[in-house]
Structures are given as structure tokens and as C-alpha cells.
Structure 1
Amino acid sequence: MPAQPEEFDAFYSATARRMVAVVYAMTGDLGEAEDAVQEAYVRAWQRWAKLTREGDPLPWVRTVAMRLAISTWRRTKGRLRAHFRHGPQTHVPELSGDRVALVAALRELTPEQRQAVVLHHLLDLPVEQVARETGASNGAVRTRLSRARKILGERLAESDSTFVAEGVASHG
């Protein structure tokens, strides 16, 4: 059965924006997230009939997008290190302290922990579905979530006290 453009277009319109947000939360890089999500939807279009026959195509698209983003991150890691050795850009827009702290804290998680946090807390998926999508056991997902929450709690608490201390110093 050939792909149905209207059906795919409706699926894309209903899910793409949130998918970019999920992958962005995983990677911390909006451009990479957009690229990975776009490629995942291209691949979904190519398999649309099969994906819709098997049920909901969204978990498949999400898994592909996350794997593409992680793969890209691994390939570019060395290039980014070289880029940062040459100094910062001349004009970098300001980011809120909260956003910087959250992205920094998320980067301290393992990729598996970060994926579990994004799927469970950002997408509100139950542990069982996170386990199915990641290929891990329910217990492994619960462990990843527990350890990730502990790390995030510690890092974000440290960030809060740093911001408060800096605020007091700059106003004192």
C-alpha cells in the first residue's frame, strides 16, 4: 500500500514540534535536534505503510531521532573540542541562568539516564513504555531515573546557591 500523504502530513503536523523539543532536551543543541528529527520523519515517510500497519509510528520516529542525534553527537564531539580551543564567538546571545544550569546538569547524566529522564518526565511516558523503547528492563529504567534525579537535584541545588551567592555579592 503506498504512503498516504494526507495521513503522514497530519501525523507530522501533530507530532514534529514536540519531537524536536524532546530531542533538544536530550542533546542540548536545537540545530542537531531539528536535523535528527527531520531525518527521522524522512525515514518514517519511506516506511509509512509498514509503520502504520504495526500500530503507532511515534515511538519508532522518536527512537530513530534520538539515535540519529546521539550518533551525530559522537561524530562531532572531537570537532567541537577543537572549535572551543579557538575561543568563544565574538557575539553570543545571553541565556538565562536557569537554562544554563539545567543544560549543564543534563550533560552530566549518562546518555541512558538522559534518555530515560526525557521520555519519562518530558513526555510523561510510563516506565514500562520507556523500557520498551530503550530496550531496557523496567528495573533498569527505574534505576536510571533515580540516579538521574539525584544528580540533577544536586547540580541544580548547587546552581541555585551559586546564583544566590553571586546575586548577593553583586548587590552588596
Structure 2
Amino acid sequence: MTVRQQTGAPPDAASAGEFTDFYQAHFHRIAVQLYAYLGDHAEAQDLTQEAFCRTLERWDRVSGYDDPSAWVRRVAWNLATSRLRRMRTAVRHLARQREEHVPGPGPDRVALTRALATLPAAQRQAIVLHHLGQLSVREIAEQAGAAEGTVRSWLSRGRAALATYFSEEAPDA
């Protein structure tokens, strides 16, 4: 191994001239191939450029290959495949991060929510747990720490208040 190879020094003038000729002869063809693969012209050019930069770093070795353009093409395709893989991963990640848009509540739900908000907390809790949560009076009493008779009273008063609320709201609707 020469000193230049060990230190990563730039190629000498003759070698640089060979690389320039090689670059001019093959860049466009490889970039077009990557463009067809990726569908993005700028990305294809960037990746082809990166492959040639890597080739330049190893030009003393790569220039001795039977077909140095095959090495550059392989590097460029590997870079393109890696880029596509990273983009797919990013798209999947972003898809999981998207907010799901659900339609807002309908007019009946809004009216019920407003009506429930007018009830005292204990009556509202009893109505919601019994009618929406489908809990029995006994289960509500256990959860609230109240007697079953008290829960029945909350349900009765809450239903009466809701009936009054909706009968008063009906003419306005």
C-alpha cells in the first residue's frame, strides 16, 4: 500500500485525469438508471454523485478492476436502495403519527351533553352509568358509595330534569 492510499490523500494528476474521464463517460448513464429506479431526478443525481465520490476515494484500487463502472453502479444502486428503505420507514412512522380526523358529534349528542351538564354531579353520574354504561342500580351504588335507594332517587330526579330540559328546548328547535 502506498503512502497516498494509507492517508487518503488525493490522487496524483495523472490519476485525477483518468478519474475525470471516467466520470464524464459514465455519470450520465448511471444517473439515468437511478432516475428510472427512484423517479426523482435530483435524488438520482445526488446518489450518483455520492457513488463517484466514494469511487474517487478508492480510485487506485477501483481503476484496476475489469469494469470500474460496474463498481460505481453497484454502489449507486446500494445507496438508492438504502434511501428507498429509509423513506419507506419514515413514511410508515409518519402514518402512525397522523391524527385521525373523526366527524364531530351530531346535534343529538350535543343536545344531550348540554342537558347532562345542567344536572347535579351525582344525578349526571347515575344517568350516564345506568343508561350509557349499562350498570345496574346496585353497581352504581357500590361505585358511588351510596345506598341503592339514593341512586334510584338520583336516576328519577335526573330523568325528570332531562325531560323538563328537552320539553323546554323543543319549541326552539
Q: TM-score, normalised by structure 1?
A: 0.44
Larger Rg: 2
Q: TM-score, normalised by structure 2?
A: 0.44
